[in-house]
Structure 1
């Protein structure tokens, strides 16, 4: 029985009060707890790394009751992937999008969930509910599990699958590892861009240069977020001239002097240090710890182009065109600190503290053609866009595992996790100048405009807090030939998100036209000019109804029970039920008085339902098994998607607007997989899957009031995804000692039916689902020398074309869907082991020099050069 209702106003008030007062989180749980608490030991039979790395993960995969793929640390090392996102694209049926998000079996990132050591983690992304997986460096990962069929001990918010990232665990002996590395990209041959208004960012943290000044913070509180001259005069009871002087001083307090210049890019650098040990402290007690720090400073330099298509004269036409150069500095800093206490063989308590920081400092400059705005031939805009984004995740976990042989072998696991993710974007500065191409190139042909937005500055802060309590119990029973494992547990997960944004514009409407020509940013927006009443600058800033300011809270209460029955040597039956009650509230805020915009009673929802699964495993022989599974799950709108505010997606630059009318997606999942496991790590598998979706959620392009794209979300009437997966690992020693080949292939299709609305007119109402690729291929040709001194891998990855966003129409004329083109990735990784303790790794990535491209109506509407990356790393284990 499914119930749905809206929250009362009192419950909304309680949810918002909780969101303001402290960390509230939503989390998800997994049966991976037991495996995350157990160190996986490699089994090496003949000395090759192929067999050693395969054996560790194959045994776990075989033992799973539900369909899952496991990726071990050694496999990640072989492919040379530096983070979780890049590594997961090697898993069967998974595709990597924007370098950060994983699509499982062709379903977008909303249809997958992410856990860290069995607990959910909040997200610092303003437009997505899932955490960007590029934040997790490979150095802290012990293994990753991708579960593709649903089990009741996992959250019901399960679509394509669940990714559990298991961090390195406490060692049994002393470990001390050090690594250093450097890298270079072919795009570095062109100079990059930098600017003078930045701070000291080598640790990936703004030193305060970009942040709102103390004077501005005080003024925003004093004048209720509106610092326009008229409001200051009314608030203070002073003259307009006096208020204008205050207004100009506030303008001068902003970081407006950001002169952009060209610079040669330095090579990338990275390094890590890990140390841990275990101590016998007597009385059958063992204490252990592990500490690690990972640092990276890298650059990307690319050429980008974009077209925005519209309808003109009954056919598709260009509304906007741009070509730009983009330089981004990325700083990554992570640390891990684990403590553990073990009592005998039956009781263990561990803590994990993980801190991740990922900072992006981005400069973009280029020419923008807007035919609707500029009619004079030879004129265009020259835009400068500076963005600084700091993402952080801090999570604290404590978990225990207890075994009671005196109580019939009862086992108890428990966990508490407290996490906070944040996104601080204090340095978003935008300049627009008129570009007179007839005057040639350089500063002499550029002029600022006498507009209210001579420059704009935006300051955003997002915090996502999560808390999760869970307990799981297991009891084995033995009846005749049957081995039965009963498992049950409960979970309470909470999540709270707050998002605030302030936007200011410096007006040059009263500035003399000649003062705006042939001038740089620093000279024009100097403190002297900003505070000079005769120069004519004015500062504007006031909240609007579309500002992305909101509070949201979510709570999931759940209980489950399942049975795993080994009926005999041939049959295994696993299944159970999960009950969840889901409560969510999302409310847009007016910062002037911190009140909710709209009807509070309509801002929340409550749902509860029972979700089930059943899995059958048939042992064909000692090496082969056949799995069949079914699960009923849901995918719910996230906190951001239910608020009708507009964000700019930091990855796509598209405007994104929520939809408070979104409904939950119900999914029926069906899986069949045949598996064949051979000695020496060889294995083969073939899988079939089918997913039936009711009310699937899709990102679509909405009708906008200007030439910018606005992406929103709609429920379709129905959707389905189905396909085949093939996977293999083959030893090729019959060709050459130490040679092997591994890979996977996914062939699938999807269909969604989605109706037009007053705000959205789609060209194709029945089509493939957004983000779905008809094929995904991974191939790895590997080599391990018999003397153990050399290993090499040649890795190929490609995903078929996928719809980036659906095309829209006006009247009878429509624009086709925008389709991202296949990206053929070919990487080479070579590792040399000069001795038992050290290794040197060389990586060459994107050897084919592919670019990221999106096409629409047969035209290239987006492109981004990637270049070929080369890196070298040395590591030593003491």
Structure 2
């Protein structure tokens, strides 16, 4: 009885207390997105811990005791809004607001601050609501993981790795030829004559708003697609003015440990040294010095960025954003060994017990963005981006060289200097026409100069009295000059029309018509000057650190050495004609996509048609002048379906047909010689056709959490691979290796907030992990290759993996976030780990096994702190485990190590101040 009385008393008390409260409720909308609902925005009663987030429809509701308060609305990237409110008992006070990102005015609104819109929760929401299957990574996540370039950024997403020593990425085990790169949806060219895609390492994340990775094809993407498309979205500043300064420093443990970090002298430290073939190159010796210069291997960086927006009239807004930065980097590969021209028994023609490489890199980046929002229906923007990069390196190989240094007393030294400049210009337009139609268009013109202004190689044999220059073959000692110039004009246009409005006023259907145009032209030329000691001078002792004592005008006049190109010496009339190839490519495309929402099911059916013409011409040391034309008409259907299991779970399906084009360099019979391998083009290479399948389940438990599982498969007709062809030097070429190949695999991703120490999200521990398993198999058909090309191959195996395919990819990170002093100060600490398993570098022939890059993992530590409202500090330690990087040739009697080295750890310190 007493229990019942107590229970009733408590119930009455609770009921009476609840009746004394009032409710504040409303809807938040996005002013910059035509007042669509704004989910996951923050709602807080100022000065209390009473708060909530808006739901998927932008709605919120807060029970509050009667009284006068200030309610705060905020969303990352938008200006915070404070509104006074009086709460009355047993009544609901409705306050609905439209948040925007500009410096607008609202009654009873106080503008507080503007930060970057692209945080992880916002991008997860975009991923959740999108019909297409995609992944995005924004500046907040990039900063948290200590990522400074786009190549590393994309490897933090599921199923993507980067090739060691380059910015080339592999998507689901498929390499450069199967992927594409765009910026704001428009294609950008490559700075590497051997690659389809630009080296993504040259893009600093300072210019990035977010990066979108499409691994499922849809009709608005160019059809040369099988792995993925990386779309770099440049910063589009909105908000009040700011100016930010950054400085930083970096050291590599290997580089700083070198007793003498020496590189070739004669190059400035900012990466703008311009060199070219000297005048009278065959009749005089006036090449640049081969002496060495000491460097202090401590890298530096500095940058400045700023932006401001201005209101124009009642609806217009003009926004400016600009950034400029310079950074350099010193690195060293140490504890290395290398082998080349290894036969099926594991015997190498080159066997270097000691290999090392020192490298100095620079990156100068400048970008400006002007956006003009004419009104709520029309917007124009202009982007211009200039990037200049340089790499200066010294490679040294000590050991056995067949017929040159049979006693293991050989030395090969190669100096290399590369300078690349890229200029991207884009004009973009977005126009809303009534409530049903929208027109988007873009125009770009890109120019790239990819030059190797000076490469020198010398081969020595150490005798008791000192070093002698090799004179076995003319190319042993040479100077090499290379130029690449490419320009590209591209245009996109699409028109959306919505139809079939439901009772709630929402359109259920949308049809999109689009046109794409792409015109690309490339010119490439290279000249190698072979410098050979003459008879009677082959035993001359030289100083490898000061070859100017031998290579000089006096010794040339005295006939101690001669100079000739592959075409001949000064007596041959065309000796100075460079080895060249050129390419022209045009793609005319049109597409139509139809999207329709059937309650919980949304489907997009697309059809794209493309007419492709690719012309290649050449004039190289392999023979006569030649040319070839590849033409293809492609009809590319695609289907993407999204089924909303509930408000937190989606099931997605993607089906498509695409193709893969060979690149200019791959079809031009031009020889490019590296120290350890030689690559040669194949004029008979032709396009592949690809059939793609994806099935994905995803769940979003909270605004910053994700669980997803994906199954995928690809069937490829006439796949292309890098193959070791039958030759004395084990040349590598590009071959359609069989009639078919296929890839199947699964991906999983999990992002979880492990611990939330307080209700204000000021202290929290979160983790993320993504993994990808891949199985690849393809036919290797020697008879097909021998019939279709001028090469002779004898595949060691009749089946094999795709080049670049890793069975297992893994990324994991753990982040602790701590915020204090009214959110003016914070500390973010992240530990990140990346792993990939073995992957094929080149397919073996003639009894030789495949060249395989062995598995390794990388562990990074990142900590960033906001020490005050304006001052920030960051520390990054990369490659903590410092594993041995290995490449082996698989053989029947065991693996042969053909390359191994360690990169060392890198320590970076960064300071920034925002005015």
Write out aligned runs for 1:706-721 (5 A): 706=729, 709-721=731-743
Structure 2 Cα separation of the partners of residues 316 and 509 of structure 1 = 35
Q: Give the match for residue 523 of structure 2.
A: 498
CA shift in 2, pair 1:82/1:700, >3 Å: same
Distance 2:769 2:757 in 1: 18
**Residue pair 1:587, 1:596 contacting (<8 A) in 2 also:** no
2:322 is aligned with 1:254: no
Partner of 1:221: none
Report if the CA contact (8 A) 2:120-2:137 is conserved.
no
Task: Note if contact 2:40-2:703 (Cα within 8 Å) is conserved in structure 1.
Answer: no
Note the alpha carbon deviations across 1:261-281, whole angstroms, 9 max, x for none.
Answer: 6x4533111111101111224
Aligned twin of 1:861: 898
Query: Could you say what secondary structure the match of 2:119 adopts?
Result: helix
Choose which of 714, 736, 745 in structure 2 pairs with 1:691. Answer: 714
Q: CA deviation at 1:837?
A: 2.0
Report 1:561-710 matches (<5 A).
561-568=592-599, 570-589=600-619, 597-598=625-626, 600=627, 603-648=628-673, 654-706=677-729, 709-710=731-732
* Partner residue, 1:389: 418
Corresponding residue number in structure 2 for 1:272: 303
What residue in structure 2 maps to residue 138 of structure 1? 205
Deviation per residue, 1:634-688 (Å, 9 max, x gap): 1111121111211246xx8532112122221111111110110122411111111
TM-fit CA distance, 1:514:
5.8
Whether the aligned pair in 1 keeps the contact of 2:226 and 2:660 (CA below 8 Å) is yes
Q: Does 1:310 align with 2:375?
A: no
Tell me which residue corresponds to 1:11.
none
Q: Is the CA contact 1:449–1:516 (under 8 Å) kept in the aligned structure 2?
A: no
1:732 maps to which residue? 754
Distance 1:862 1:279, change over 3 A: same
Quick check: which one's helix share is greater? Answer: 1
- 2:859 and 2:247 map into 1 onto residues whose CA distance is 24
C-alpha contact 2:223 2:658 (8 A) present in aligned 1: yes
CA–CA separation in structure 2 for the residues paired with 1:126 and 1:44: 50
Match of 1:168 in 2: 235
Measure how far apart 1:536 and its partner are: 3.0
After TM superposition, give the deviation of residue 285 of structure 1 in Å: 3.5
| Separation of aligned partners in 1, 2:260 and 2:200 | 27
Shift of 1:454: 6.7
Q: SS at the partner of 1:364?
A: strand
Could you say which residue in structure 2 is the equivalent of 1:297?
A: 328
What secondary structure, in the 3-state scheme, does the structure 2 residue paired with 1:681 have? coil
The residue aligned with 1:109 is 176
Instruction: Determine if the alignment matches structure 1 residue 808 to structure 2 residue 845.
Output: yes
Q: Paired residue for 2:125, among 59, 78, 86?
A: 59
RMSD: 2.7
Q: How far apart in 2 are the matches of 1:729 and 1:666? A: 35
1:540 aligns with 2:564: yes
CA separation of 1:48/1:277 partners in 2, compared to 1, >3 Å: closer, same or farther? closer
Shift of 1:411: 0.8
In structure 2, C-alpha distance between the alignment counterparts of 1:280 and 1:591, rounded to whole Å: 62
Bigger CA drift: 421-430 or 362-371? 362-371
Q: Secondary structure at the match of 1:74?
A: helix
Mean alpha-carbon deviation: is it higher for 577-586 or for 846-855? 846-855
3-state SS of 2:809 partner: strand
Asked if 1 retains the 8 angstrom alpha-carbon contact of 2:364 and 2:389, the reply is yes
Corresponding residue SS for 2:126: helix
Residues 572 and 301 (structure 1), Cα distance of their counterparts in 2 relative to 1, 3 Å cut: same
Q: Which residue of 2 aligns with 1:76?
A: 142
User: How far did residue 589 of structure 1 move?
Assistant: 2.5
CA distance in 2, matches of 1:518, 1:387: 19
Alpha-carbon distance in structure 2 between the residues aligned to 1:454 and 1:819: 28
Please give the alpha-carbon distance, in whole angstroms, between the structure 2 residues aligned to 1:112 and 1:516.
50
In the superposition, relative to structure 1, how do residues 43 and 841 fare at CA in structure 2: closer, same or farther (>3 Å)? farther
Cα distance in structure 1, aligned partners of 2:458 and 2:690: 46
Higher relative contact order at CA 8 Å, sep ≥6: structure 1 or structure 2?
1
Is residue 434 of structure 2 the alignment partner of residue 429 of structure 1? no
Q: Distance in 2 between matches of 1:805 and 1:639?
A: 20
| Other structure's SS at 2:140 match | helix
Structure 2: distance between partners of 1:397 and 1:180: 29
Q: Tell me how far 1:516 sits from its aligned partner.
A: 4.0
| Partner Cα distance (2:118, 2:718) in 1 | 45
Q: Report how far residue 309 of structure 1 moved.
A: 4.8
CA contact (8 A) 1:727 1:745 kept: yes
Structure with greater Cα Rg: 2
1:872 corresponds to 2:905? no
Q: For 1:442-457, list aligned pairs within 5 A.
A: 444-450=465-471, 452=474, 455-457=477-479
| Deviation sequence 1:129-178 (CA, Å, 0-9, x none) | 11111111111111000111111111111101111011111333212111
Q: State the Cα deviation string for residues 580-631 of structure 1 (Å, max 9, x = none).
A: 0001101113699xx9813x4xx10221121011111111111111001101
Q: Are residues 1:843 and 2:872 paired?
A: no
Q: Is the 8 A contact 1:548 1:646 kept in 2?
A: no
Structure 1 match to 2:830? 793
1:494 touches 1:556 (CA, 8 Å); kept in 2?
yes
| Mapped contact 2:118–2:210 kept (Cα < 8 A) | no
Q: CA deviation at 1:391?
A: 1.4
**Aligned partners of 1:843 and 1:871 also within 8 Å:** yes
TM-fit CA distance, 1:733: 1.0
Q: Deviations over 1:222-250 (max 9, x none)?
A: xxxxx5xxxxxxxxxxxxxxxxxxx2x2x
Distance 1:616 1:726 in 2: 19
Partners of 2:190 and 2:579 lie apart in 1 by 16
What is residue 776 of structure 1 aligned with on the other side?
A: 809
Distance 2:260 2:447 in 1: 34
The question of whether the paired residues in 1 share the 8 Å contact of 2:167 and 2:199 is answered with: yes
**In structure 2, do the counterparts of structure 1 residues 855 and 510 end up closer, same or farther at CA, with 3 Å as the change threshold?**
closer
In 2 relative to 1, CA 850–48 (structure 1 residues): closer, same or farther, beyond 3 Å? Answer: farther
Q: How many residues align?
A: 778
Are the counterparts in 1 of residues 404 and 461 from structure 2 also a CA contact under 8 Å?
Answer: no
Contact 2:542 2:550 in 1 (8 A): no
Q: How does 1:395-544 map to 2 (within 5 A)?
A: 395-405=424-434, 408-436=435-463, 439=464, 444-450=465-471, 452=474, 455-480=477-502, 483-510=508-535, 512-513=537-538, 515-517=540-542, 520-530=546-556, 532=557, 534-543=558-567
Contact 1:698 1:716 survives alignment (8 Å): no
Find the aligned partners of 1:129 and 1:873 in 2 and give their Cα distance. Answer: 33
Correspondence 1:741 to 2:771: no
Alignment match, 1:27 = none
> How far 1:528 moved relative to its partner?
2.8
Asked if structure 1 preserves the Cα contact closer than 8 Å seen for 2:725 and 2:732, the reply is yes
Question: Does structure 1 retain, via aligned residues, the 8 Å contact 2:396–2:411?
Answer: yes
8 Å Cα contact 2:337/2:899 also seen in 1: yes
Q: TM-score, normalised by structure 2?
A: 0.81
TM-score using structure 1 length: 0.84
1:305: Cα distance to partner?
2.0
Q: For the structure 1 residues 527 and 164, does the alpha-carbon distance in structure 2 shift closer, same or farther, using more than 3 Å as the test?
A: same
Are 1:752 and 2:778 matched, yes or no? yes
Distance 1:827 1:196, change over 3 A: closer
- Deviation of 1:548 after TM superposition, in Å, equals 5.0
Task: Specify the SS of the correspondent of 2:856.
Answer: coil
